[in-house]
Amino acid sequence: MPKNILILGGGTGGVVAALSLAEAKEKFGLDYEITLVNKTEWHYMPPLWMDVALGTAKIEETRAPIRGLEKYGVKVVVGEAVNIDPGNRAVSLADGTTLGYDYLFVVLGLRNGWEAIPGYAEEGYHNYSPEGALEFNNALKQFKGGKVVITVPEVPFRCGIYPMEFATVLAYKLSSKGIKPEITLMSPRMPNGVDITYALGPDIKRLWDKYFNMYGIKVRTHDGIEKIDGQRKVVVTKNYEEPYDLLIKVPPPRSPKVLEENPEFQKDPTGRFIVAKPLDFRHPKYDDIFLTGEHSMPPTGLGTAGVFIHAASYRATQILLSDEYGVGSPGPIPPVACVAYVADKGFLGVCEVTFDGQTHMWSGPRCYNVVESYLMKMVKHAFYQGWLDRLRL
């Protein structure tokens, strides 16, 4: 009887796990079935939602049909997981279907926890969903100038470079239209007293400083955002108030409800993330469950970004293949690379990741700006479109 490997989530990590397992199955002639459950018919590439917000891409360019995995031998089920029963190795879907498994990969990402701050859901704009990106684009079309405030309520947040990346791109775009914006990035105060521009190390910090100085982008640290006062158009923090004309908001990250409300899944001390064993990303109690979504990265020491989800999901599949079938190469996580925008250019960053034997956590990342050029902007777009084409073609 072939083993059944079930994957919950059709984002980057889920697709990486499915393709990695499918490749090994064909290469080594292994006997197992792969089923992936995704909430919608689409596999999205969220970094491209920034382009939608800025009006340089359409929603159709940010997605591919999730059923494109079927040509690689992966069974796809479109549905939403509403309960996971590890004791019985069963997953219940919203339509009443129950799916069994021998191994389970939970790669469900994070939800936008707007409810954490009064007024946050109602005020401001974001591009953390396709709908949000379209609304954001309409708002930017109407913006004629004034004070732009980008709020980051807490750390960690989704995609560690996004607020700085977007601030520089927006500054360039508005300046090219003859609008001289006043942009303020509101950063939570980090444990060592610095702001989030230091988050990926001094080399990337120098990159942000260069463009922040060029466009007059200010950084202001806060000790916690208490509420958004939409009537007065003010962000109220524990230590000051910040007025705005255009509010751009980064969501507080929260685990999906199916994990958050299930006592079988342990939360970390912050109550925001789901605990996984750092070395192999397994559930602390059930070795047949791998937790490689954003919801479980901070407790392992990794960041909430696609490059780390990719690395974690690939490593977890290699561990499973090695343990169960005697194939696969579960070596250390190699340096991860990320291509991002900066103003009118792009840059390639590389982050080293190591496992700390004393803390039993992944440490770092130590990140470096490898190259910064106009070409890198095209490379970023080409990479994401190439990724999506694997499911389109």
Residue range 203-262, pLDDT digits in tens:
999 999 999 999 999 999 999 999 999 999 999 999 999 999 999 999 999 999 999 999
Least confident of 17-21, 80-84, 177-181: 177-181
Within a domain: 191:
yes
The reported pLDDT for the residue numbered 58 is 97
Within a domain: 294:
yes
| Mean pLDDT to the nearest integer, 78-98 | 98
3-state DSSP call for residue 304? coil
The reported pLDDT for the residue numbered 319 is 97
The reported pLDDT for the residue numbered 317 is 98
Q: What are the pLDDT digits (tens) for 48-66? A: 999 999 999 999 999 999 9
Burial 236-275 (b: 16+ CB within 10 A, else e): bbeeeebebebbbbbbbbbbbebbbebeebebbeeebbbb
The answer to whether residues 226 and 122 belong to one domain is yes
Q: What are the pLDDT digits (tens) for 188-197? A: 999 888 999 9
The answer to whether residues 214 and 274 belong to one domain is no
Q: How far apart are CA 142 and CA 144, in angstroms?
A: 6
Within a domain: 368:
no
The answer to whether residues 275 and 207 belong to one domain is no
The pair phi, psi for residue 389, each rounded to 5°, is: -65, -20
Q: What are the pLDDT digits (tens) for 288-334? A: 999 999 999 999 999 999 999 999 999 999 999 999 999 988 988 98
- CATH number for the domain harbouring residue 295: 3.50.50.60
Instruction: Examine the pLDDT at 145 and tell me if it is beyond 80.
Output: yes
Q: How far apart are CA 13 and CA 189, in angstroms?
A: 30
Instruction: Work out how many domains the chain is built from and give that number.
Output: 2
Within a domain: 292:
yes
Percent of the chain with pLDDT over 70: 99
The answer to whether residues 208 and 292 belong to one domain is no
Within a domain: 385:
no
The answer to whether residues 296 and 213 belong to one domain is no
Residue where a domain terminates, one of 331, 366, 385: 331
Question: Taking a C-beta distance cutoff of 8 angstroms, is the pair 30, 68 a contact?
Answer: no
Residue where a domain terminates, one of 280, 310, 331: 331
Q: How far apart are CA 295 and CA 309, in angstroms?
A: 10
Q: Which domain holds residue 219?
A: 114-251
Q: How far apart are CA 263 and CA 304, in angstroms?
A: 23
Instruction: Examine the pLDDT at 364 and tell me if it is beyond 80.
Output: no
The answer to whether residues 167 and 275 belong to one domain is no
Q: What are the pLDDT digits (tens) for 104-134? A: 999 999 999 999 999 999 999 999 999 999 9
The answer to whether residues 178 and 151 belong to one domain is yes
Within a domain: 378:
no
Within a domain: 343:
no
Q: What are the pLDDT digits (tens) for 5-14? A: 999 999 999 9
Residue where a domain terminates, one of 316, 331, 346: 331
The reported pLDDT for the residue numbered 329 is 86
The reported pLDDT for the residue numbered 199 is 87
| Mean pLDDT to the nearest integer, 73-92 | 98
The reported pLDDT for the residue numbered 192 is 83
The reported pLDDT for the residue numbered 365 is 65
The answer to whether residues 74 and 198 belong to one domain is no
